[in-house]
Amino acid sequence: MAHSTTLRSFTLASVLLAVGAPAALGQVATPPPAEVKDPSKEFTPPPAVEVPVQPAQVEVRPAARPRAEPPKMPTDVDYNALIKRDAEGKLIALTEPVHIAAMRVNTKLPAGFVDSLAEYLDDRRVRISHLLVANLDIVEQIDQGIFEQPAREDKESINKLMNTLRPIVQPPAPRSITEELRDRKMMEQTQWLVNNQIVRNYTLAGGPAIDRNAPKEAQGDAAWRAILQLYKSMTDEYTFLAKQAHEAIATKGDSVFTAELVKAVTDKGLTEANLTLAREHVTKAVSAGVGTQAYNDAMKAFREATTLDQRKLVYEAALKVK
């Protein structure tokens, strides 16, 4: 009996769930409105708000400066005026530093310009002389052909060359005469540009010409030699003064080897015999001429007969002889 009652209850619940549930749910749901309103007709938009527009931030860059045109070189100047060759086609050496020689043929300079620099040139000679004596070992290496040694592929030798020359070609050593006169406002732009070009042309005339029809390797070697020639020209005053010192020793030895100098070098250990030999070696070198094998041999013998400190005393004394 109980089982029957339970079954009837379960059946009734099932029927209610199947049939009566929707009706019951319909009784508790909110009935739909009689009329459905169109939201678009009911919506009132808010008044427009004017938003101030900020001007765009534009980066203002200064106008690019036009590239400065390189100064035009005058066409009425003989830039090869210093280039003179002997019967064999060899470049004739100058009798004074190249920058001074260039000023003498620089037609953009007033007549007598070099003579007007007498006081300045005397002062510069003293400054270069002091540096020569202090760096005599470097000047001697130049005399022995240090610029002829490095090949363009030999970076180690090139670096060594540049480092060796640093004390006489970089500050505080003076710049070239032309550049120093420019810096002192003693030369106008056209004047110093012309002077530098005359110096450049003479310097390059002493080296191998670059044959544009030659193989690239040969052209590269010739260009490298030209660069070395230009760099060597920066030491021109030192080698010129050294040559003057040699000539003073050879031709004015008594004025150079005063009692004071003899005492100074003997105090440094130079014997009288070696002192005599030193004078003889330099005299032979001067007689043979720079660039000859006899010159190189005589100067080598001079260096072997003396120490660097002894030679510094000799050069110092020789450079004071006019």
> What is the residue extent of each domain of the chain?
72-235, 252-322
DSSP letter at 85 equals B
What does the pLDDT read at residue 119? 97
CA distance 86 to 93: 10
What does the pLDDT read at residue 55? 60
Residue 85's DSSP bridge partners are: 91
What does the pLDDT read at residue 158? 87
Q: How many CB atoms lie within 10 A of CB 319?
A: 21
Q: Kindly report the length of the chain.
A: 322
Residue type at position 109: L
Which H, E and C letters describe 206-264, residue by residue?
A: CCCCCCCCCCHHHHHHHHHHHHHHHHHHHHHHHHHHHHHHHHHHHHCHHHHCCHHHHHH
What does the pLDDT read at residue 15? 39
What does the pLDDT read at residue 301? 96
Alpha carbon 66 to chain centroid distance?
25
Residue 91's DSSP bridge partners are: 85
pLDDT in tens, 73-130: 999 999 999 999 999 999 999 999 999 999 999 999 999 999 999 999 999 999 999 9
What does the pLDDT read at residue 24? 42
Q: Which residue stretches of the chain have pLDDT < 70?
A: 1-66, 68
pTM: 0.76
DSSP letter at 38 equals -
What does the pLDDT read at residue 51? 56
CB-based contacts of 195, cutoff 8 Å, min separation 6: 99, 102, 103, 106, 109, 178, 187
CA distance 255 to 272: 17
CB-based contacts of 199, cutoff 8 Å, min separation 6: 98, 99, 102, 176, 178, 233
Please state, in angstroms and as integers, the Cα–Cα distance from residue 313 to each residue in 21, 245, 281, 308, 319, following that order. Answer: 130, 11, 17, 9, 10
